[in-house]
Amino acid sequence: MNWHFYTLSGIFIIAGILHIIRPRAFMRVMPLYIPYHKPLVYISGMAEIIAGSGMLFSPVKVFALWSIITMLVLFFPVHIHMLAHKKAGLGLPKSILLFRLVLQFFLIYWSYSYL
């Protein structure tokens, strides 16, 4: 594997760790129609850590990558909510919020490229 692969793995491991140590930041961007914000933030953080780490082990690499792709798709409503609701957007410029939405597609493609 090349450094790009390890970078992708690291992105998800770090993102997952941030979910665990800064859950409020992630809870603030979740739409109100999604219940159980705090448990879901912790669960998604653990899932990102496990999937990012799982990428590094051949027996579970494909499952880990599909898990990452699935999570990225499931996170779309959060990114759209951030774009549509100023408070959820954390005061970020619309251009940054749009970039984050487009970034989801790039991360899906990047993950898929290692299957």
Q: Residue 35 region, left (φ>0) first, then alpha (ψ -120 to 50), else beta?
A: beta
pLDDT score recorded for residue 21: 98
pLDDT score recorded for residue 14: 98
Q: Report the first-to-last Cα separation within the chain, whole angstroms.
A: 12
Token representation of residue 66: 């599909």
Residue 88 is classified by DSSP as T
**Cβ(111)–Cβ(68) under 8 Å?**
yes
pLDDT score recorded for residue 98: 96
Per-residue pLDDT of the chain (115 residues; tens, 9 = 90+): 899 999 999 999 999 999 999 999 999 999 999 999 999 999 999 999 999 999 999 999 999 999 999 999 999 999 999 999 998 999 999 999 999 999 999 999 999 999 9
At 47, is the secondary structure helix, strand, or coil? helix
pLDDT score recorded for residue 1: 82
